[in-house]
């Protein structure tokens, strides 16, 4: 086939490395500064992760010979009819991201971001420590319930597109959630799968899992990335398609982008050799982003991609935190660009371009609970900041806000096309069942649930004609040659028109941005001044109140003391009253007793005087005959 380049084509299968042999070193894109404009044929300038273009690295050797759009390893490629291509890849279209395969018109419709939820099992340590599980998953009903009832609050249930409980296997997640998306990539869509959740909940496990070292059976714990790679190659092989493939792998750490696949020799120009050069994320003037200097590596086999994945993953920044022994401290984006040749019924050769972005976000974490200090705390702060912007973007999209703050962080600039753009997106939200992480789990579930309402407008990338693509590649090569020539002659730097236009557009955007920031700074300074005077007035008022408060406190103290004195006097008076009452009642009682006795005595006296009178009478009568009595007797008797 004219499409196949003899120089770059893989050797026939007999001379290819055996599946068990180590993969050969992947071929890197060659080129020279400055950055070529984004490739319009592959839709690279259309923004976000899917809109990344690359700048070949200055340290690379220049690429001589004609460019080749197709590097299919097999020489005996048969032409594939468009219709045939469709029939092969329609096998799996049923789950997340599935859609029709004919033409592009019926695809130009809105599609919700697909959100799947994965709850990891309790770890061995957690089981040993008898950590309670506070999350229950119902895979059939696609529901996750957070058992708030453990804390005497109402349970909360969320529904997702698919729910994978703690027992779910890596394969099930790939087959149900990711495989249909990979089919779409091969149909010419830009697709993104990203994992998001609290630190230590299994994002990296889900995305990477056990990495493949060589070609062979996938281990059961292999994650989305190796499975997607295998799936893509399986389909292309089954279709006997002519294709070319390249990959990029970047890391976003503390708002700085670095190339995880960049060759080590780049760092020899840096003062700190351990530091990898950072790449700039540029505006392409069309609402998208371009990453300068990101290496695109041409790959021919799954084995090559596995070793690149392995290589890139080991270069990712990780650290041991209280919540995860090997916590990723950065966001990573692995992209696979696939060009597949199709022959239309009129024998026209077209090229389908699709891109798959596999994103492993750093975990959101509570600095207090993760035990992060100093550098780690700053990292966590940066991570949380970019994730916070991601949250704000999700909220703005869900609420249909006029302004979506994509530009507030590099992460959201990278994910722009995948959130509300023209890509198909699947979010894998990961949670832990641990009761200790209930709060963070609820936050993840809440965001994931809201993300379900984001509507993308998936568009299939335009198929380009082989001749157009070749022309474009020749043009690019010509530009590169001029760059090399200019650099060799030390004649300054040649800037191709398109790059110049791109840079001018970018400068204009930056100028507008600066202007906008100046205006907002001015506004903010005025507001700051207003708040400062308000603050001062408040301070004064506070001081006054504090003085009054002090005086009142003194008065209250005095009153308290007086009150206590009065209380004491009152209780003393009460006591003496009680004593007097007691005495009076005793006196009254004594008086009554005396009166009673007096009465008794009076009675006795009366009785006695009666008796005396009776006696006198009796005596008088007895003495009458003896009268007159001597005077002494009479006196005695009287």
Ligand X SMILES: Nc1ncnc2c1ncn2[C@@H]1O[C@H](COP(=O)(O)OP(=O)(O)OP(=O)(O)O)[C@@H](O)[C@H]1O
Please give the residue ranges that form the binding site for ligand X (CB under 6 A).
Answer: 120-121, 123, 197, 199-205, 324, 326-328, 362-363, 430
The string of DSSP codes covering 185-241 is HHTT-EEEEEEEEBTTSSHHHHHTBSPPSSSSPPPTTB-HHHHHHHHHHHHHHHHT-
Beta carbon of residue 257, minimum distance to ligand X (angstroms, whole number): 18
List C-alpha distances in Å: 291 to 57, 252, 334, 500: 12, 12, 14, 16
Beta bridge partners of 256: 253
Residue 202 annotated in ligand binding: yes
Beta carbon of residue 158, minimum distance to ligand X (angstroms, whole number): 19
Beta carbon of residue 324, minimum distance to ligand X (angstroms, whole number): 4
Question: Cα separation of 218 and 538, whole Å?
Answer: 67
List C-alpha distances in Å: 183 to 224, 231, 291, 303, 320: 14, 9, 26, 20, 37
Buried b (16+ CB within 10 A) or exposed e, 52-68: bbbbbbeebeebeeebb
Q: Among residues 301 and 364, whose Cβ is nearest to ligand X?
A: 364
Beta carbon of residue 124, minimum distance to ligand X (angstroms, whole number): 10
Question: Cα separation of 412 and 405, whole Å?
Answer: 8
Question: Cα separation of 362 and 328, whole Å?
Answer: 6
Q: Among residues 448 and 495, whose Cβ is nearest to ligand X?
A: 448
Tokens 């001749």 belong to 467
Beta carbon of residue 92, minimum distance to ligand X (angstroms, whole number): 23
**Cβ neighbours, 10 Å, residue 286:** 15
Question: Cα separation of 552 and 554, whole Å?
Answer: 5
Label residue 22 left, alpha or beta by phi (over 0 means left) and psi (-120 to 50 means alpha): beta
Tokens 């024998």 belong to 347
List C-alpha distances in Å: 156 to 137, 149, 266, 537, 568: 12, 9, 51, 46, 60
Question: Cα separation of 419 and 450, whole Å?
Answer: 12
Question: Cα separation of 171 and 176, whole Å?
Answer: 8
Beta carbon of residue 328, minimum distance to ligand X (angstroms, whole number): 3
Q: Within 13 Å, how many C-alpha atoms sit on residue 351's CB side?
A: 23
Residue 203 annotated in ligand binding: yes
Residue 201 annotated in ligand binding: yes
Question: Cα separation of 86 and 460, whole Å?
Answer: 14
Beta carbon of residue 165, minimum distance to ligand X (angstroms, whole number): 10
Residue 310 annotated in ligand binding: no
Question: Cα separation of 143 and 133, whole Å?
Answer: 16
Q: Within 13 Å, how many C-alpha atoms sit on residue 359's CB side?
A: 29
Closest by CA to 190, choosing from 397, 456, 464, is 456
Residue 346 annotated in ligand binding: no
Q: Among residues 388 and 629, whose Cβ is nearest to ligand X?
A: 388
Beta carbon of residue 164, minimum distance to ligand X (angstroms, whole number): 8
Residue 314 annotated in ligand binding: no
Q: Among residues 412 and 434, whose Cβ is nearest to ligand X?
A: 434
Beta carbon of residue 195, minimum distance to ligand X (angstroms, whole number): 7
Q: Among residues 184 and 251, whose Cβ is nearest to ligand X?
A: 251
Looking only at the bridges linking them, the beta strands covering 424-431 and 190-197 are parallel
Beta carbon of residue 113, minimum distance to ligand X (angstroms, whole number): 20
**Cβ neighbours, 10 Å, residue 31:** 25
Count the residues in the chain: 638
Closest by CA to 109, choosing from 462, 463, 459, 415, is 459
Summarize the annotated binding site for ATP as residue ranges: 197-204
Summarize the annotated binding site as residue ranges: 197-204
């Amino acid at each position: 086939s004219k499409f196949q380049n003899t120089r770059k084509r893989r050797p026939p299968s007999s001379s290819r490395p055996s599946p068990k042999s180590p993969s050969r070193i992947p071929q890197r894109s060659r080129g020279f500064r400055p950055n070529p404009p984004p490739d319009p044929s592959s839709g690279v300038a259309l923004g976000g992760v899917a809109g990344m273009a690359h700048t070949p690295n200055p340290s690379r050797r220049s690429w001589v010979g004609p460019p080749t759009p197709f590097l299919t390893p097999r020489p005996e490629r048969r032409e594939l009819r468009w219709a045939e291509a469709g029939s092969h890849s329609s096998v799996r279209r049923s789950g997340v991201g599935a859609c029709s395969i004919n033409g592009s018109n019926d695809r130009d419709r809105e599609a919700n971001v697909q959100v799947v939820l994965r709850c990891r099992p309790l770890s061995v340590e957690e089981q040993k420590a008898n950590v309670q599980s506070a999350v229950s998953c119902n895979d059939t009903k696609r529901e996750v319930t957070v058992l708030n009832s453990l804390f005497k609050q109402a349970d909360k249930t969320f529904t997702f597109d698919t729910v994978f409980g703690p027992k779910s296997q890596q394969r099930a997640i790939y087959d149900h959630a990711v495989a249909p998306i990979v089919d779409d990539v091969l149909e010419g869509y830009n697709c993104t799968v990203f994992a998001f959740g609290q630190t230590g909940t299994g994002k990296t496990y889900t995305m990477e899992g056990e990495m493949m070292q060589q070609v062979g059976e996938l281990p059961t714990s292999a994650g989305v990335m190796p499975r997607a790679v295998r799936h893509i190659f399986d389909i292309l092989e089954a279709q006997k398609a002519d294709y070319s493939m390249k990959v990029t792998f970047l890391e976003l750490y503390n708002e700085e982008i670095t190339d995880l696949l960049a060759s080590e020799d780049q760092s020899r120009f840096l003062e700190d050799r351990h530091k990898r050069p950072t790449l700039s994320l540029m505006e392409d003037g069309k609402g998208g982003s371009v990453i300068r200097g990101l290496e695109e590596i041409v790959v021919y086999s799954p084995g090559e991609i596995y070793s690149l994945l392995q290589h890139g993953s080991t270069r990712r920044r990780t650290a041991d935190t209280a919540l995860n022994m090997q916590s990723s401290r950065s966001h990573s984006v692995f992209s696979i660009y696939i060009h597949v040749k199709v022959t239309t019924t009129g024998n026209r050769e077209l090229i389908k371009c699709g891109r798959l972005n596999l994103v492993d976000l750093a975990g959101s974490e509570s600095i207090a609970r993760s035990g992060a200090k100093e550098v780690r705390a700053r990292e966590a702060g940066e991570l949380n900041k970019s994730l916070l912007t991601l949250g704000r973007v999700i909220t703005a999209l869900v609420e249909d806000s006029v302004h979506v703050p994509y530009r507030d962080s590099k992460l959201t600039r990278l994910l722009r096309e995948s959130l509300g753009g023209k890509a198909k997106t699947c979010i894998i939200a990961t949670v832990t069942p641990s009761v200790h992480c209930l709060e963070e789990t609820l936050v993840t579930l809440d965001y994931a649930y809201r993300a379900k309402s984001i509507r993308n407008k998936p568009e299939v990338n335009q198929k380009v004609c082989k001749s157009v693509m070749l022309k474009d590649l020749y043009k690019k090569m010509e530009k590169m040659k001029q760059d090399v020539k200019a650099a060799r002659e030390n004649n300054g730097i040649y800037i191709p028109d398109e790059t110049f236009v791109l840079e001018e557009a970018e400068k204009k955007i930056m100028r507008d941005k600066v202007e906008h920031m100046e205006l907002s700074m001015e506004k903010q300074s005025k507001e700051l001044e207003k708040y400062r005077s308000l603050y001062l007035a408040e301070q004064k008022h506070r001081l006054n109140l504090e003085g009054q408060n002090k005086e009142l406190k003194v008065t209250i103290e005095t009153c308290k003391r007086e009150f206590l004195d009065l209380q004491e006097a009152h209780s003393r008076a009460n006591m003496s009253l009680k004593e007097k009452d007691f005495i009076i009642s005793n006196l009254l009682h004594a008086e009554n007793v005396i009166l009673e006795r007096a009465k008794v005595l009076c009675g006795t006296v009366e009785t006695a005087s009666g008796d005396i009178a009776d006696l006198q009478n009796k005596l008088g009568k007895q003495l009458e005959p003896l009268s007159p009595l001597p005077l002494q007797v009479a006196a005695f008797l009287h």
